[in-house]
């Protein structure tokens, strides 16, 4: 019998990154469109709060669930902005990024063999964290003809006596689709009918375009007490390397288990980062808005460029910073099997452009490619300028 950790991959995006970094080390200019790391600096008031915390000697163990200042700030934010209804800040748990939050959440929720419904394609780490929790990921395909929204009928059809939860991510990685209030409401009703948990990953809640509005699943009727909401400071405040996320958990048993796991895994997030996060949540939000405006500019540059190529059909994302495109039969490497990897490798080898093969995100991702536009506007513009030509050269 193999070890459960053996079911986890080393990561397709890591492979792409390593190849790009290798090329860079050999003196080649590379364009980093493979991974979703914001190019921006953290807001100044966040940096100042962290510097102050250091000067004040805030370098000791903290409460493992988070410093009271931060948990209170999070409680205030999620109850007003996200309209979640949790009784107190005791239902907030600060984690080492949303990634760690997801790991301990599935570990706390699942018994061996429990099933979790998730979108296909989906950011790889969700299925992996479900498996690490002993569970079984049950994919439901997001279809292009539905604007890549979950189909509630397909969710319902995937439910079995072992189903424990439905996982929802909006705005979505890797596609950038934004779930409508209607879709979310129907999912909440399904969960209520079948007495399931809902896991709502809202890492990209503030990366929205064209005036789109974020709806928190946990605020909807039927969902309030059964939703575990997952948030991240990585995208909203460009704090990716500082590693801070948080969970909002209504259910008392799950909350108790998660508190135990936080103590036994990290025993509290880096103290200085927590002061920065409190400042981020309570301070001015202009930096977040201006980052979203810049991402929208990048999205438009890249989307317009891809419209020019006969090899890709791009989806215009309403949020997150990813551009998802279907590889068309005109692409010389089109074979319905490995064309996503062949295009990814071709772009690295011929132009130093990073991307991610769609199959890294689940079986339905095969035949697609994801470009992240979280690197600098200059890099995105350069990639947009050369991509149509580089792709057309493959046919010659």
For ligand PLP, the binding residues (CB under 6 A) are 36, 97-99, 123, 169, 173, 201, 203, 232, 234, 240, 245
Min CB(391)–ligand PLP separation in Å: 26
Min CB(217)–ligand PLP separation in Å: 14
What's the CA gap between 324 and 303, in Å, rounded?
Answer: 10
Of the pair 74, 305, the CB lying nearest ligand PLP is at 74
Of the pair 227, 234, the CB lying nearest ligand PLP is at 234
Min CB(173)–ligand PLP separation in Å: 4
Of the pair 30, 126, the CB lying nearest ligand PLP is at 126
Of the pair 39, 309, the CB lying nearest ligand PLP is at 39
> Which DSSP symbol is given to 268?
S
Q: What is the DSSP string of 21-62?
A: HHHHHTT---B--SS----SPPPHHHHHHHHHHHHTT--S--
Min CB(392)–ligand PLP separation in Å: 31
Of the pair 97, 268, the CB lying nearest ligand PLP is at 97
| Whether the Cβ atoms of residue 306 and residue 387 lie closer than 8 Å to each other | yes
What's the CA gap between 149 and 119, in Å, rounded?
Answer: 9
Min CB(338)–ligand PLP separation in Å: 25
Min CB(38)–ligand PLP separation in Å: 10
| Whether the Cβ atoms of residue 95 and residue 247 lie closer than 8 Å to each other | yes
| Whether the Cβ atoms of residue 123 and residue 173 lie closer than 8 Å to each other | yes
Nearest residue to ligand PLP, by Cβ distance, number only: 97
Give the number of other CB atoms < 10 A from CB of residue 337. Answer: 11
Beta bridge partners of 227: 198
Min CB(166)–ligand PLP separation in Å: 15
Min CB(375)–ligand PLP separation in Å: 14
Torsions phi, psi of 345, nearest 5? -65, -40
What's the CA gap between 180 and 192, in Å, rounded?
Answer: 19
| Whether the Cβ atoms of residue 290 and residue 282 lie closer than 8 Å to each other | no
Closest CA to 110 of 91, 92, 128, 136: 136
Of the pair 167, 341, the CB lying nearest ligand PLP is at 167
Of the pair 196, 199, the CB lying nearest ligand PLP is at 199
* Distance from the first to the final alpha carbon of the chain: 49
Min CB(356)–ligand PLP separation in Å: 11
Of the pair 129, 379, the CB lying nearest ligand PLP is at 129
At 299, list the tokens. Answer: 């999205």
Q: What is the DSSP string of 106-165?
A: HHHHPPTT-EEEEEES--THHHHHHHHTT-EEEEEEPPGGGTT---HHHHHHH--TTEEE
Closest CA to 198 of 175, 177, 176, 222: 222
Of the pair 73, 351, the CB lying nearest ligand PLP is at 73
């Amino acid at each position: 019998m193999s070890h459960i950790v053996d079911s986890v991959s080393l990561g397709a995006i890591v492979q792409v990154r390593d190849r790009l970094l290798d090329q860079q080390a050999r003196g080649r200019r590379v364009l980093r469109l493979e991974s979703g790391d914001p190019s921006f600096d953290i807001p100044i008031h966040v940096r100042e709060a962290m510097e102050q915390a250091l000067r004040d000697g805030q370098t000791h163990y903290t409460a493992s669930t988070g410093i009271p200042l931060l948990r209170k700030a999070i409680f205030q934010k999620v109850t007003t902005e996200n309209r979640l209804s949790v009784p107190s800040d005791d239902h907030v748990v600060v984690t080492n990024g949303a990634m760690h939050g997801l790991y301990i959440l599935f570990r706390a929720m699942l018994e061996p063999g429990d099933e979790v419904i998730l979108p296909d394609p989906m950011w790889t780490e969700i299925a992996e964290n479900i498996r690490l929790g002993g569970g079984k990921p049950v994919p439901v395909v997001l279809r292009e003809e539905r604007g890549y929204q979950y189909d509630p009928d397909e969710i319902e059809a995937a439910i079995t006596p072992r189903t424990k939860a439905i996982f929802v991510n909006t705005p979505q990685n890797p596609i950038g689709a934004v779930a409508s209030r209607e879709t979310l409401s129907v999912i909440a009703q399904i969960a209520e009918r079948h007495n399931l948990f809902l896991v709502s990953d809202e890492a990209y809640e503030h990366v929205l375009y064209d005036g789109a509005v974020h709806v928190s699943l946990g605020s909807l009727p039927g969902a309030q007490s059964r939703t575990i909401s997952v948030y991240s400071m990585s995208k909203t405040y460009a704090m990716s390397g500082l590693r801070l996320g948080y969970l909002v958990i209504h259910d008392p048993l799950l909350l108790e288990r998660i508190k135990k796991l936080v103590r036994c895994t990290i025993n509290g997030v880096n103290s200085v980062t927590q002061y920065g996060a409190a400042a981020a949540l309570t301070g001015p939000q202009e930096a977040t808005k201006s980052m979203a405006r810049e991402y929208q500019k990048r999205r438009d540059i890249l989307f317009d460029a891809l419209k020019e190529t006969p090899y890709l059909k791009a989806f215009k994302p309403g949020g997150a910073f990813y551009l998802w495109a279907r590889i068309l039969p005109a692409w010389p490497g089109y074979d319905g099997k490995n064309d996503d990897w062949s295009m990814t490798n071709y772009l690295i080898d011929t132009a130093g452009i990073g991307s991610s093969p769609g199959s890294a995100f689940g079986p339905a991702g095969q035949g697609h490619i994801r470009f992240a536009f979280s690197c600098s506007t200059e890099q995105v513009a350069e990639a947009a300028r050369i991509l149509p030509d580089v792709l057309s050269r493959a046919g010659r």
